[in-house]
Structure 1
């Protein structure tokens, strides 16, 4: 079996056995495309590679080989994770008799503190959408990312059945990152904005052909790329000097919840993190604010006698 056939079988396993999202499968495929270029460059058979070959691949990735630019340590580490999963699949299926990635160590990475914006800035962004069918759609999208902490890919995948506005308003997030479903309660503000959008939804073309909650201006399913472009254009009008990305609303949701006293366990469940260590990075933000606050006691502004 050649490498392309092995990758095809692997992606089928990811899609139909592990039931991973298309975005996750695409990420695996991109990493394996880089690996394919490496194998071709060095005339290697994927079934015969050794530990040193994997380590050399990671080094060359960090130097900018096989991609448009040098890859960060975290991206190189992700490539290694992809190869570990790939070779474990090949080992279990009997294609290889050893796993060359077993003893390979991932590069050390620094966890960056996530960017976030203030509650007031979120409200400015929400309030600036026009009262049109398109504006109501965009406002509801941001509401779900901020008030419910949804990823942009999760918002794009929502169907009408995933939203409940009855006695116990909630959103069902199916097969989020890590193949983990979850239920997130809807706040009154989110309910109001989603309800307003649903009143305008039939103004989008092809509305009766889709079960998706959100659609594009031509009736096509919404994509991450289109949401990102929409936000960039909208936010530039309000904050021309700031760079925004859709994930900033999810980061802001987590940060504001912890700042207002929510337990880290609850925030983990809302965000759908598999490990609480992922959620704990948001604690660094509140710790930083505490350190800045206590500095006020030694900057000469304390006039108490």
Structure 2
């Protein structure tokens, strides 16, 4: 009988914090998998990263058990077979209505194997697997082509990197964005002031959803002059800070705090949200900006899966793909297309390296067509 493992959300017996675990079909904890996830938390990884890694490790453990393999004895050929299995095995069907089988993309398969390799590296440090397998997971690679902004070091020592040995070669997919006009459509169909403010804030500032859900009320400096708050930054703005103790598990990815200006319409939507929030007495004691106002537990910090359900509903009503991160991509793209210097965009986005801006520097299909038409028009003249 094959043992099926899966990821489950749990509460810490120590402080009731949310965490992720790997369990089998009898809800018995997988000791090594759970210890690995605890290691991710200790490193300050976000709850979303922990959730993704939990599901990927559980998938790998299930595959091993189905093939009669001890995961501690898995070799490179086994990992290569697992990679091929990921794209050839149909995904579970959605709903009760039969439909065409769905398969994982090669990019998704690569992400799963990356998580499994991290699990093996952790297991090697703990003495659970043969350390020799770690040396075979990657190989040295010399970077002949450098992405924009890549620092090679004074002597070019950073041109030598470690490349994954087991992966599919895939092309870079274009980023998906929600433009300001797309964000406006989402705002129009949103039912609550809180949700309208969240959409506008993400679109205006380009912050990550984890950064938004981690905002405290003290971070909202929406006065023309914030000196009375002990802040010397002029104009309405927000402060994005990394706080690992957020009750909802929200975590700012960047370890460096930054401030981001906001527009007047965002300030107005925040005022509407405060009026809506004040009608829920349970929300008064919470210092988080985004809280539950419409379902239990009232007044508790808003969590990622609630936001996901919101965006799924908004996507259906507007008949467009909509995810929080697409608003971040849209903000960065709009800044660059408007001629904002790249170092300013890098600071606004909270990127450590200028190379992270590379996805936003590629021209769009509309821009390429406009360039061709512009030259053709000049020739006709």
Q: 1:10-159 alignment to 2 at 5 Å?
A: 10-15=36-41, 17-64=42-89, 69-98=102-131, 100=133, 102-103=137-138, 104-126=165-187, 128=188, 135-159=192-216
**Per-residue deviation, 1:300:** 5.3
What is aligned with 1:259? 337
Selected match of 2:259 from 184, 208, 211 = 184
**Per-residue deviation, 1:30:** 0.3
**Per-residue deviation, 1:23:** 1.2
Moved more, 247-256 or 189-198: 189-198
What SS does the corresponding residue of 1:113 show, helix, strand or coil?
Answer: coil
Q: Is residue 228 of structure 1 aligned with residue 308 of structure 2?
A: yes
Aligned residues of 1:258 and 1:267 also touching (Cα < 8 A): yes
Change (3 A) 1:150 1:80: same
What SS does the corresponding residue of 1:243 show, helix, strand or coil?
Answer: coil
Change (3 A) 1:66 1:292: closer
CA distance in 1, matches of 2:92, 2:345: 36
CA distance in 2, matches of 1:251, 1:196: 26
Aligned residues of 2:53 and 2:115 also touching (Cα < 8 A): yes
Change (3 A) 1:179 1:10: farther
**Per-residue deviation, 1:50:** 0.7
Change (3 A) 1:243 1:124: closer
CA distance in 1, matches of 2:45, 2:125: 19
**Per-residue deviation, 1:181:** 4.5
How large is the Cα RMSD of the aligned pairs?
2.9
CA distance in 1, matches of 2:132, 2:91: 23
What are the ranges of 5 or more consecutive residues in structure 2 without an aligned counterpart? 1-27, 94-101, 139-164, 227-232, 244-250
**Per-residue deviation, 1:303:** 4.8
What are the ranges of 5 or more consecutive residues in structure 1 without an aligned counterpart? none
- The structure, 1 or 2, with the larger RCO (C-alpha pairs under 8 Å, 6+ apart) is 1
What is aligned with 2:35? 9
Selected match of 1:172 from 218, 237, 240 = 240
What SS does the corresponding residue of 2:169 show, helix, strand or coil?
Answer: coil
CA distance in 1, matches of 2:281, 2:324: 25
Moved more, 224-233 or 83-92: 224-233
**Bigger fraction of residues in strand:** 2
**Per-residue deviation, 1:213:** 1.2
